[in-house]
Structure 1
Amino acid sequence: MSDGAPLVAPDLVLPAEVLAEMRSRLPQVAERTVDAIISEVPSYAGALSGPMGAKIRNAVQLALGGFISLAARTREAPRTPTAPAVEGAYQLGRGEARAGRSMEALLAAYRIGARASWREMSAAAVSGGIEAETLGDFAGLVFAYIDELSASSAAGHSDELATSGRVRRRLLEQLGGLLLAGAPKEQAIAAAERVEWPWPETLTAVVVPDSQRRAVLGVVSPATLQPAEDLTGLEDRALLLVPDVAGARRTTLVRALADRDAVVGPARPTLEVRASYDRAARALALGLAPVGDESLLDTEEHLGELVLHADPVALADLRARALAPLADVRADTAEKLRDTLRAWLLHQGRREAVAAALFCHPQTVRYRMGRLRELYGDALDDPRTVLELTLALA
């Protein structure tokens, strides 16, 4: 917990009318602060309703009230956070650990809450005529106070984990291992009940660099599992099993992980999560590249490549058979014919489109397709041959 050290801005004196205005705005500031946390920290999206939500809202109001009391002190009075505010922050940290939320999520809530509350309080200060220099001191006091409370919450979170969290974390790791191993349903459900893990409809495998694991845990559900065992192909990477992000929720997950070098598998029924992990691992092994400018690799954007490379040996055999008519053609000519055939297949035989794709004259396309028809004969009109050539040239 806090050591009660004085905060910055010892010479700051706010007019009584400004302090009164801030007190009058406390409920509004608290509500907007909570709304900002809900909007920007996914872990809290469903947490701020019911009894736990009421506790968190009360903690926000207590913290803001403590700050007003702090700001009202005179130059002679030491500027240290009030005991109730510090104790409230400490207990909040312990409660968040018991709820399974990471310290990263709580600190993110503090950062966003500080930004939102500062926006409201500074507006009150400016409307009260506070000068720029005084406003700067006020800002220093606001953020030093938030740092003090977040440190107290971090201590509470750490203390709770030290006393009760380790056992639960180990049981959750074991549960993740059971699900990946395809354990019988009864065994998996019993393990989930033992650790009070809410059974989701689906799980989605997310692979992230070890360096990003803690940050990612701050933006996904606190019920996310982290299997402890080492898995082949995941050196220097961590596997997370994220609950219930199927459908529209997947878009939110992908957006949150856009710059995290993550690989996201498909959502699968909880007992079938191994299939999600296998697809993510296969995408990594194939070295597939992200779509667009982001670093995230979404396996849903690469289904064609994943299907195509599911059996590399079969693909090699298919390629050899489909392209056998070109085997005796000179290498440079064969390459041009393959490019032409690929474009012809993709553009469904439209000569102008094929020529544009190859940056050549339509007559060149006509000549090459004539050569290919000499080599393939009527097979180019056979749907099965067209399918095999499309796969072979993909």
Structure 2
Amino acid sequence: MATPRRTADHGLRLPPRAVERMRAELADVAEHVVAAIIDEVPSYTDAFSGPMGETIRNAVQLALGGFLSLASGRRGADLTTPTAPAVDGAYQLGRGEARSGRSTEAILAAYRIGARVSWREMSTTAVRNGLDGETLVAFAELVFAYIDELSAASVAGHNDELATTGRVRQRRLERIAHHLLTGSPADTVLATAERAGWEPPKTLTAVIVPEAQVRPVLAAVSPGTIAATEPPELDEAVLLLVPDAHGHRRAALLRTLGTRGCTAGPPRPWLEVRASYDRALRARAAGLELDTEAHLVPLVLDADPSARADLRAQVLAPLAALRPGTAEKLADTLRSWLLHHGRRDEVAADLFVHPQTVRYRMGQLRELYGDRLDDPATVLALTVALA
């Protein structure tokens, strides 16, 4: 990671009136920062609710207050010292985020948003209170240098936490995934989850993610997501088990996955997530991406390709003696006739032929199949085979 810009000896001294006005607006700026982070980083939605949300809001306001002390030249505002409250708070925030399962991408995204919102609002106030253009440029440099230092402190805290406890927890989470995917007894899975400090959700959704997309996806989904990095069936991809992405939350998950080349199985009761993974695997093997639930018909029809081929050969046996071209035309006509419930004009439009041609071909087919075209079992078999 690049060395962050430093705020020591910056030389900027904002006019006292501008600092006073910005300090009076700190609470509002902090609220706007938090609202923007919640809106743009989904994994922080729950973190900002309840008592924890108030703690974070206060921390944001404290960081902004420390910045104004720095910008006004107040003594003791040198952030290069490791005991500076804002930097120490950022370091502890990073450790806490690692314990919560959030990635550094989520933290850095929050800092980028915080810098953007803070700069927009504070610079507007500063200009209204007489800040000249040259000083405004120096003010901008200091804002982003300050954010750089806080970001670096949080990343350091995150890395330190992972170095001490994170790897152990990750191994335990991967054991949960292993037990779930291999069909271990429920008691074994529950005991492993308890040792990992992982709260079982109502449902889990299996998502196959290309390796290059894992980090941004993890930054946007629930921090309780388990990453199974080495399932034997996957090549250059990672399996994520996403908790409680059912109901209206599935739409949010699919938006997150977007065009990243991921495949999401259906939500299933968490102990039955292997079924979700199996469907995602089948869809991926068939070249189907994103939402397996949008591809149920081809997944069902291709669940046993050999059986479907045998069925097709069986139900099309009456056409076997015909020339290949004739057999193909009659099979296409039969398929369209079945799908359009025998409506001749719609069949003709589908096949780009005259309705009389459809009538002629169906006459041929009735001669070949006889009364079987009126038999529900035969109609079902033909529909499945020709779908």
2:227/2:240 contact within 8 Å kept: yes
Q: CA deviation at 1:258?
A: 0.6
Match of 1:322 in 2: 315
Q: CA deviation at 1:3?
A: 8.6
1:81/1:145 contact within 8 Å kept: no
1:287-337 CA distances to partner (integer Å, 9 max, x unpaired)?
Answer: 22x4xxxxxx21010111111111222111111111112212211222222
1:358-383 CA distances to partner (integer Å, 9 max, x unpaired)?
Answer: 22222222222222222222222222
* Closer/same/farther in 2, CA of residues 30 and 339 from structure 1, 3 Å limit: same
Q: CA deviation at 1:94?
A: 0.8
Amino acid at match of 1:203: L
CA distance in 1, matches of 2:132, 2:378: 79
Match of 1:202 in 2: 203
Match of 2:57 in 1: 57
1:2/1:86 contact within 8 Å kept: no
Match of 1:213 in 2: 214
1:209/1:236 contact within 8 Å kept: yes
The question of 1:249 aligning with 2:242 is answered no
1:9/1:138 contact within 8 Å kept: no
SS at 1:366's partner residue? Answer: helix
Q: CA deviation at 1:212?
A: 0.8
Amino acid at match of 1:192: A
Instruction: Identify the range of structure 1 (21-30 vs 80-89) with the bigger mean alpha-carbon deviation.
Output: 80-89
The question of 1:176 aligning with 2:169 is answered no
The question of 1:336 aligning with 2:329 is answered yes
Q: CA deviation at 1:80?
A: 4.8
CA distance in 2, matches of 1:135, 1:336: 75
2:340/2:346 contact within 8 Å kept: yes
Match of 1:293 in 2: none
CA distance in 2, matches of 1:353, 1:132: 71
CA distance in 1, matches of 2:2, 2:278: 46
Match of 2:163 in 1: 162
Q: CA deviation at 1:8?
A: 9.7
Q: CA deviation at 1:140?
A: 3.0
Match of 1:97 in 2: 98
Match of 1:358 in 2: 351
CA distance in 2, matches of 1:126, 1:390: 72
SS at 1:6's partner residue? Answer: coil
Instruction: Identify the range of structure 1 (82-91 vs 135-144) with the bigger mean alpha-carbon deviation.
Output: 135-144
Q: CA deviation at 1:93?
A: 0.4
CA distance in 1, matches of 2:143, 2:319: 74
Match of 1:48 in 2: 48
CA distance in 2, matches of 1:210, 1:89: 29
Aligned counterparts, 1:222-241, within 5 A: 222-232=223-233, 234-241=234-241
SS at 1:317's partner residue? Answer: helix
Amino acid at match of 1:239: L
Q: CA deviation at 1:13?
A: 4.7
CA distance in 1, matches of 2:349, 2:382: 21
The count of residues paired between Structure 1 and Structure 2 equals 385
Q: CA deviation at 1:77?
A: 11
Counting aligned pairs with the same residue, the percent is 63
TM-score, normalised by the number of residues in structure 1: 0.90
Structure 2 gap segments, 5+ residues each: none
CA distance in 1, matches of 2:9, 2:274: 55
CA distance in 1, matches of 2:327, 2:12: 81
1:73/1:79 contact within 8 Å kept: no
* Closer/same/farther in 2, CA of residues 26 and 336 from structure 1, 3 Å limit: same
Q: CA deviation at 1:386?
A: 1.6
* Closer/same/farther in 2, CA of residues 326 and 8 from structure 1, 3 Å limit: farther
Q: CA deviation at 1:113?
A: 2.2
Q: CA deviation at 1:130?
A: 4.1
Q: CA deviation at 1:268?
A: 0.7
Aligned counterparts, 1:63-74, within 5 A: 63-73=63-73
1:106-129 CA distances to partner (integer Å, 9 max, x unpaired)?
Answer: 122222222222332233234335
CA distance in 1, matches of 2:3, 2:375: 81
SS at 2:295's partner residue? Answer: helix
Q: Over aligned residues, Cα RMSD in angstroms?
A: 2.6
